[in-house]
Structure 1
Amino acid sequence: MSQLPFSPHINNNALASIFNNTSATYKFYWFLGIIEEVEQGRREIEKKRIFSRMIANAWYPINYFKISFGTQDKIAEIIEYLVTTTNLVENEDKSKIYNFLTESLDKEVIKYLFHLDKNVPHWFLSPWFKGHKKTEIYRQSLASNDYAMYRLEKNTITVNENWLTYILSNAKILKEYTLWNLALFVQSKNPLIPDVVNKLIKPAKRNSLTYQRNNFWNIYLNEKRDVRCIFTGEQLDESNYELDHFVPYSWVSHDLIWNLVPVLSGFNSSKNNKLPILEKHFNSFYNIQKDALNLIDKRLKKRFRDEYITIFKSYQTPEDFKYQKLMDTLEPQISAASNNGFEFLE
Structure 2
Amino acid sequence: MDKELIRNIAEKEIAIGVDVPYSREVDYITFSRVLKDDRVVASYKMYWLLAILDEVQEGNIEIEFRKLITRMIAYAWYPISKFRLYFGAWDNLGKVVNYISDTYNLKPNINKSELIDFIYNSNDKELNKMIKNLTYNVPHKFLSPFYDGIAKEPSLKTVMMLSKEHKRWIYEIYRNSDEENCIRIREGWDDYLKYNYKIIQGWVYYKLVCFLQKRNPNVPGIAMKLEAPLNRNLTTQTKIWTSIIERKNIIDLYTGLPFTQENYKEHGNLSMDHFIPWSFVLHDQMWNLVPTFKNINSKKSDNLFKYEDYIEGLAKLQYDAFCFVVDENKKEEIEEYRGILRVPDAVAFKAEGSYEEFFKRYKDGTCPIYNIAANQGFKVVNGIYIRS
Match of 1:15 in 2: 31
1:63 to 81, 93, 98: 81
Q: TM-score, normalised by structure 1?
A: 0.58
In 1, Cα distance between equivalents of 2:19 and 2:92: 29
One-letter amino acid of the structure 1 residue matched with residue 194 of structure 2? L
| Alignment pair present for 1:36 and 2:54 | yes
Mapping of residues 214-229 of structure 1, within 5 Å:
none
Report which of the two structures shows the higher radius of gyration computed on alpha carbons: 1
Match of 2:342 in 1: none
Match of 2:69 in 1: 51
In 2, Cα distance between equivalents of 1:67 and 1:45: 29
Deviation at 1:201, TM superposition (A): 2.1
The answer (yes or no) to whether the contact 1:126–1:137 under 8 Å persists in 2 is no
**Which range is displaced more, 130-139 or 157-166?**
130-139
| Alignment pair present for 1:140 and 2:158 | no
1:88 to 100, 103, 106: 106
Match of 1:244 in 2: none
The answer (yes or no) to whether the contact 2:81–2:101 under 8 Å persists in 1 is no
In 1, Cα distance between equivalents of 2:227 and 2:34: 21
Deviation at 1:206, TM superposition (A): 5.8
In 1, Cα distance between equivalents of 2:84 and 2:105: 20
Match of 1:240 in 2: none
Match of 2:184 in 1: 158
Mapping of residues 150-189 of structure 1, within 5 Å:
150-154=171-175, 155-189=181-215
Structure 1 stretches of 4+ with a deviation exceeding 6 A read none
Deviation at 1:207, TM superposition (A): 5.2
| Alignment pair present for 1:108 and 2:126 | yes
Deviation at 1:203, TM superposition (A): 1.9
Deviation at 1:87, TM superposition (A): 4.6
Specify every segment of 5 or more residues in structure 1 that has no aligned partner in the other structure, as ranges: 209-301, 307-346
Deviation at 1:51, TM superposition (A): 0.5
Q: TM-score, normalised by structure 2?
A: 0.52
3-state DSSP class of the match of 1:153? Answer: strand
Specify every segment of 5 or more residues in structure 2 that has no aligned partner in the other structure, as ranges: 1-13, 176-180, 235-293, 299-388
In 2, Cα distance between equivalents of 1:197 and 1:113: 26
**Which range is displaced more, 180-189 or 99-108?**
99-108
One-letter amino acid of the structure 2 residue matched with residue 34 of structure 1? I
Deviation track 1:165-218 (CA, whole Å, cap 9, x = no partner) reads: 10010111111000001111111111111111221122223659xxxxxxxxxx
Mapping of residues 1-346 of structure 1, within 5 Å:
3-20=19-36, 21-130=39-148, 131-132=151-152, 133-134=154-155, 135-144=157-166, 146-154=167-175, 155-205=181-231
In 2, Cα distance between equivalents of 1:111 and 1:206: 38
One-letter amino acid of the structure 2 residue matched with residue 136 of structure 1? T
In 2, Cα distance between equivalents of 1:196 and 1:89: 20
Aligned CA RMSD, in angstroms, stands at 2.2
In 1, Cα distance between equivalents of 2:219 and 2:164: 42
Deviation track 1:21-68 (CA, whole Å, cap 9, x = no partner) reads: 211000000000000011111110011110010010111111112211
